[in-house]
Amino acid sequence: MLIVQKFGGTSVANTERIKSVAARVAKYHAKGDQIVVVVSAMSGVTDGLIKLAKEIMPLPSEREMDVLLATGEQTTIALTAIALHALGLPAASLTGAQAGIVTDGVHTKAKIQNITPRKIHELLNADKVVIVAGFQGQTREGQITTLGRGGSDLTAIALAAALKANLCQIYTDVDGVYTADPRLVPTARKLTEISYDEMLELASLGAKVMQSRSVEFAKKFGVVFEVRSSLNDNPGTIVKEETKGMEDVVIRGVSLDKNQAKMTLVGVPDRPGIAASIFKSLADGAINVDMIVQNASHGSETPATDLSFTVDRADLLKAGKIIDELRSSIGIRDVVAAEKMGKLSIVGVGMRSHSGVAAKMFDTLAQAGINIEMISTSEIKISVVIELSKAEPAMRAVHAAFLG
Ligand code: ASP
Ligand code: MG
């Protein structure tokens, strides 16, 4: 079998951890498997390098940032190869460029254009374990690039696709994907499987297990992978295309984003172009607006409406300034900000075929005395915005109602 194994920053945090990665790889190698290992930088290293550059200037050249950040993964590939040599295993490290990973030229967030894994095949055929630096590639012109934060996941998934690997394992510091964050919900369970779409929803909702782009890539190319722990031998969670049986489960997971803030514009003139100008100004200020709710219009001569939206809490002040600048020109009567909000979501492909899911969620919250301030839904997700102080008990109540 050809196996791609990816180890994240915490799994290679120090030489002890790197030795235990090598021991795990050795076990698979002893079974006769061909192994391609992808590693991240040791945990904290990428952040540390960014900090160094910013001590010199606030906005360093992105080309130089890529040259700098790529050293993090280059350190780990060499140390991992050395750890394998120490166990008597033949192993060789490759940078992204050496592994044949070609990207576009968008420094610090390059996209993989294609992979020519000739060197990898050569080494595998010579019975070597191949260790590839995650997160990096090179342009056709030979410039070093990086794939955006968390990009080692993408390297692993893309290599698994290019090599037609039989197995792709993403090793991390958790046992897999859970029905909810076990630190917040003690009854949360590890899932044996989850569909790409559910995984994507949970990741974008704050359950940060993997870089979202890598899951999108896996979906596009049908790469089945397993998220599992580098600290034990427990089976993890298989992430794959939706199968028939998956719809039998109504809800796969519950997630909570504690970083929301809400802004309500009271008495906004209700005429064409107003929403466009408000949200254009916010977008120009690089503010990511998540949920938007507009109420029914009131007043007949000069109809007005109330408009609420959510942003990341860190963006609230900036959003407030932008709205203040518009306020008199548009004629907004009042602006109310709520700083501490949470977004609670339930996700599951089973929602498509089960009715009454939203009603059950709202009823559960009502019985817990929790007021819902905003609601949004998609095909496989229902989200509500609630007061942050009630968010954790709300999460536990909803998890208990759907997942026990
Ligand atoms: N070292 C890079 C980062 O911290 C890539 C990765 O860890 O996946 O973002
Ligand atoms: Mg990482």
Q: Output the CA 202–ligand 1 centroid distance in Å.
A: 20
Please list, in sequence order, all residues whose beta carbon lies within 8 angstroms of the beta carbon of residue 223, skipping any fewer than 6 positions away: 157, 160, 161, 168, 217
In which region does residue 154 sit, left (phi positive, over 0), alpha (psi from -120 to 50) or beta (all else)? alpha
Contact 136, 147 (CB under 8 A): yes
User: What pLDDT is stored for residue 206 in this prediction?
Assistant: 58
Q: Residue 211 and residue 173: Cα distance in Å, rounded?
A: 15
Angle, vertex CA 388, rays to CA 384 and CA 392, nearest 5:
85
In the numeric block, the tokens 């297990």 are attached to 209
Number of Cβ within a 10 Å radius of residue 172:
22
Among residues of the chain, what percentage have pLDDT more than 90? 91
Instruction: Give the residue ranges of DSSP H helices in 331-390.
Output: 357-367
Beta strand pairing status for 381-387 and 334-347? antiparallel
Q: Whose CA is nearest to atom 1 of ligand 1?
A: 41
- Averaged pLDDT for residues 372-399: 96
Mean pLDDT in the chain? Answer: 95
Atom of ligand 1 nearest to the CA of 150: 8
- Averaged pLDDT for residues 152-156: 97
Q: Output the CA 9–ligand 2 centroid distance in Å.
A: 5
Q: Of 157, 126, 162, 144, which is closest to residue 34 (Cα–Cα)?
A: 126
Burial 226-245 (b: 16+ CB within 10 A, else e): bbbbbeeeeebbbbbebeee
| CB distance 96 to ligand 1 below 6 Å | no
Q: Output the CA 8–ligand 1 centroid distance in Å.
A: 8
Tens-digit pLDDT profile for residues 224-254: 999 999 999 999 999 999 988 888 889 999 9
Tens-digit pLDDT profile for residues 303-313: 999 999 999 99
Q: Could you tell me the pTM of the whole model?
A: 0.88
Q: What is the separation of C-alpha 288 from the centre of its chain, rounded to a whole number of angstroms?
A: 16
Residues comprising the chain, all counted:
404
Helix (H) or strand (E) holding 217: helix 212-221
Answer whether residue 334 shows pLDDT above 70. Answer: yes
- Averaged pLDDT for residues 270-284: 94
User: What pLDDT is stored for residue 146 in this prediction?
Assistant: 98
Q: Whose CA is nearest to atom 8 of ligand 1?
A: 150
**Beta bridge partner(s), residue 265:** 307, 335
* Domain ranges, ordered by start, for the chain: 2-173
Q: Output the CA 140–ligand 2 centroid distance in Å.
A: 26
Number of Cβ within a 10 Å radius of residue 350:
18
Q: Output the CA 314–ligand 2 centroid distance in Å.
A: 23
Please list, in sequence order, all residues whose beta carbon lies within 8 angstroms of the beta carbon of residue 281, skipping any fewer than 6 positions away: 322, 323, 325, 326
R_g of the chain computed on alpha carbons:
24
User: Greater confidence, 173 or 133?
Assistant: 133
Tens-digit pLDDT profile for residues 189-232: 999 999 999 999 887 665 667 888 999 999 999 999 999 999 99
User: What pLDDT is stored for residue 19 in this prediction?
Assistant: 98
| CB distance 237 to ligand 1 below 6 Å | no
Q: Is 115 helix (H, G, I), strand (E, B) or coil?
A: strand
| Ligand nearest to the backbone CA of 147 | 1
User: What pLDDT is stored for residue 298 in this prediction?
Assistant: 83
DSSP secondary structure letters along 36-91: EEEE-PPTTHHHHHHHHHHHH-SS--HHHHHHHHHHHHHHHHHHHHHHHHHTT--E
Q: Residue 245 and residue 78: Cα distance in Å, rounded?
A: 44
Q: Output the CA 402–ligand 1 centroid distance in Å.
A: 35
Task: Indicate the angle between helix axes 316-330 and 274-284, nearest 10 degrees.
Answer: 140
Please give the CATH number for the structural domain made up of 2-173: 3.40.1160.10
- Local confidence band at 24 (pLDDT 50, 70, 90 cut-offs): very high
Tens-digit pLDDT profile for residues 128-149: 999 999 999 999 999 999 999 9
| CB distance 210 to ligand 1 below 6 Å | no
| CB distance 155 to ligand 1 below 6 Å | no
User: What pLDDT is stored for residue 211 in this prediction?
Assistant: 87
Atom of ligand 1 nearest to the CA of 135: 5
Out of 38, 74, 152, 213, mutate this one to test ligand 1's pocket (max ligand atoms within 8 Å of CB): namely 152
User: What pLDDT is stored for residue 245 in this prediction?
Assistant: 86
Q: Output the CA 8–ligand 2 centroid distance in Å.
A: 5
